[in-house]
Amino acid sequence: MKIEFKDQVGIITGAASGLGQAIALNLSKKGVKLALFDRDTNGLQKTRNLLAGESEIYVLDITNEAEVADSINKVNDHFGRIDILVNCAGIVGKTNILSHEVEADNMQLVLNVNLMGSFYTSKYAIPKMLKNNYGRVLHIASISGKEGNAGMLAYSTSKAAVIGMTKVQGKEYAETGVTINALAPAVIRTAMVEALPDEQVKYMTDKIPMKRCGTLEEAASTAAFIVSPEASFSTAFTFDLSGGRATY
């Protein structure tokens, strides 16, 4: 199926690397004009150099509400509209530790990036979409947000919260032409995953019936469908990308 994105504008957070970069590449090839959000200036420039179509980079701290609001206003002013928001910015935090050993500062940091960052961007992007009676918001969650991964309290909790937020937002805007969904991958081979302890990756991969990690290309293709005009009757839903791990 050929997915059409005629004259659409999308924001990708965490676009400097990993899944954010992969989704940006996919959507750019389909003709989406992109606003690339990240705090990594060099990484953003590298992503932009790989893209086929029009794009702008915005260097910001996703956990700073004022910076997010200002950047989204600039995107809307520059491109004239916002049709797509994909929230890929995320961190794992410290892993392979028991819950009572989790430091409060690390817990708060992970929640700020993974949950509050997605909250801020959607808070300011959705009103722009409502003016056009159309929009697609995709929050990148995780299978750990559904099932919980031992040794990953902060990350699992933050992604569970993202799933909860998706359910609420999707229901609230269901009649507006704006859909809000989440994507819950199992282990995808990214730099973030490569940085995890081997035992943590093995623990997660062993739970996947396919016995392998997902690829960035697989995740990007799924994301592209979710934010496409064709995905018009799905909202408040969490799509699984888990190699058979999630069956509900």
CA dihedral 86→154→162→145, nearest 10 degrees, is: 100
Instruction: Tell me, yes or no, if 248 is annotated catalytic.
Output: no
Closest CA to 52 of 34, 36, 37: 34
Separation between Cα atoms, residue 194 and residue 200, nearest integer Å? 10
Q: 155, 173, 203, 248: which is the annotated catalytic residue?
A: 155
Separation between Cα atoms, residue 192 and residue 195, nearest integer Å? 5
For the chain, give the longest Cα–Cα distance.
Answer: 50
Closest CA to 46 of 36, 61, 31, 34: 36
Query: Which residues are marked as active site?
Result: 155
